[in-house]
Amino acid sequence: MSTPRTIAFIGAGNMANAIIGGMLENGFNADNLWVSAPDDSHLQRIRKQSGVSVTTDNRYCAQQADIIVLAVKPQIMRSVCEEIAPVVQNTRPLIVSIAAGLEVDTLDGWLGGGMPIVRCMPNTPSLVGKGSAGLYATDSVGDDQRKAVTAIFEGVGIALWVPDEAMLHSITALSGSAPAYFFLMLEAMEEAGDELGVEREQARWLAIQTMAGAAEMARRGPDEPAQLKRNVMSPGGTTEKAVETFEDGDLRGLVRRACQAVIKHSKAMAAQLRDNAS
């Protein structure tokens, strides 16, 4: 298919709503979007806000779709997949899962087998249109389907494809979990500012603006991060002393170990979900 007729979201949580909002802002027609969830009052609020079609019937929602986005928690994914399996085996839509840890083979088995599937690892800045998503597709996913999925997730940020499903563990470490790293840095700077006599709210906003400005400089400019860092540092200056302190404290090693801890735990979670599925 070159242009999806209908995209259905099964699950209506914050991430699903963020993606739908980004799609609508980027020209997707609300008439071509369906959402299902068990809470009808919540669905009616979504319908009034965005104009999409809603239903509490997952099977009916799935039946409308060329693309189905599975946006439910991993703990209930099996029951949802098995519920819609008779429908998708007949209609053969593209399946997109944003559930962490659930591998495509597991999802495919629950859906009855032989389905084209994309796994996505989005992150929470998608809620403000600044997300990043790692994407992996099975061999049966066509080029037009890949383009359609890219368009969906570019509505809330950037979308990057990986050639190996196992690389989604690394994407989790570098992107999925990473907003918390920056919030930790923000928290630490706020606390340091408080100790230095700056009001906590002022310290927070100074840190937020500095982080946002530094990120924008990195995004816009051709320089590598190392050069951008040197551009701020004067030999023997205050910034150099701060950076030396970070280096002496093995900040790079801490970041590596933090990412490795995410990957280790992500793999363990995937293995547990796989064992529970069998």
List, as residue ranges, the binding site for NADPH.
58
Strand partners, 67: 7, 94
CB 95 within 8 A of CB 10: no
Distance CA 15, CA 7 (A): 15
* Cα–Cα distance list, 44 to 12, 70, 216, 253 (Å): 11, 20, 38, 49
Residues 6+ apart with CB under 8 A from 49: none
> Buried b / exposed e across 238-271, counting CB within 10 Å, b at 16+?
eeeeebeeeeeeeeeeeeeebbeebbeebeebbe
Annotated binding site for NADP(+): 10-15, 71-74
Annotated binding site: 10-15, 58, 71-74
Q: Tokens 């399946």 correspond to what residue?
A: 95
Q: Which amino acid is at 244?
A: E
